[in-house]
Amino acid sequence: MQTTHFIAGEPAVVITRVAARHWHALEDDVVVGRGEATTRPDGRTFLSIDSWHRSVFDQLADAMLADLPAPLYTVVDEVHTDLTAGWERAGFTLRRREWECLVPTAQRTTAPPPGVTIVPRGSASEGPLRALDRVVRAEVEASVGWQEMPAEILPRTAGDTIVDPGLYAAAAEGDEYVGLVRVVQVTRLPRIGLIAVRADRQRRGIARALLTGVLDSLHQAGIPTASAEVNEANPAATALFESVGARRAGSTLELVRHGE
């Protein structure tokens, strides 16, 4: 966990890389700070530092940056201004802001457009689901780039972008899937991790039908609230979640350092 506020003092420390992706700051053989680099499924490397001292944070950051190739990323809760300032001292700049939203599951479901049916979460067929996933990813990569989509944190093997078909609901048109939504159960607060519709089927109400459908299924299961992350630069996603009563509960900043 990254620290929120630094305390005064500049202890004399030794920075040691204790494993391929772990660093320790030692003061008289006592660990007073830790750094970690994590590679996400999309290939990007994210850094985190746990230290109560500003000087220890800075020394850990310098050591990690010297050992790792750019670009490097980190995520910070926007209220943690001391931590944001620490990463900025290390050369990181704002890449994007994501709103953390709480979404009520009690919804009036929206009917899909004619010819489209909603396949409930857990009932989607793996073949059509994977085919749609490949189409959607290619469309997003050709436009804004997949890195602008919500973070994928579930581990997966290389090239396998559908970790668990049971997490998805889908919109079917004939023998094809044209839209999908992924819901991950994170402790007791489900996370809506992704909503996507094929480019040639957008603006027909499919995304809203998918979203209200999965929210209603969660409500029927006795779950009152779900969570979602919405990129502030995505007005369509913002409008969709606002239309179902989502409220902003906080925000996170994704910072990036591109190197010298």
| Domain boundaries defined on the chain | 14-91, 101-251
- pLDDT-wise least confident of 45-54, 114-123, 187-196: 187-196
Spatial distance between the Cα atoms of 176 and 223, rounded to a whole number of angstroms: 30
The pLDDT value given to residue 259: 75
148 pLDDT higher than 70: no
d(Cα 41, Cα 50) in Å, to the nearest integer?
A: 23
Fold of 101-251: Aminopeptidase (3.40.630)
Sign of CA dihedral 96, 101, 107, 108: negative
For the chain, the average pLDDT equals 88
C-beta separation of 214 from 45 below 8 A: no
**What tokens appear for 171 in the block?**
């919109």
Check for a shared fold between 14-91 and 101-251.
yes
64: left (phi over 0), alpha (psi -120 to 50) or beta: alpha
Q: How would residue 9 be classed by pLDDT, with cut points 50, 70 and 90?
A: low
What is the CATH code of the structural domain delimited by 14-91? 3.40.630.30
Average pLDDT over residues 58-71: 95
Under 8 Å CB-to-CB from 197, ≥6 apart: which residues? 136, 171, 178, 179, 206, 207, 210
pLDDT at 129 over 70: yes
Residue 29's pLDDT band (boundaries 50, 70, 90)?
Answer: confident
pLDDT value at 153 more than 60: no
Residue 152 has pLDDT above 50, yes or no: no
Phi, then psi, of 247 in degrees rounded to 5: -125, 145
- Going from the C-alpha of 117 to that of each of 195, 225, 230, the distances in angstroms are 16, 25, 26
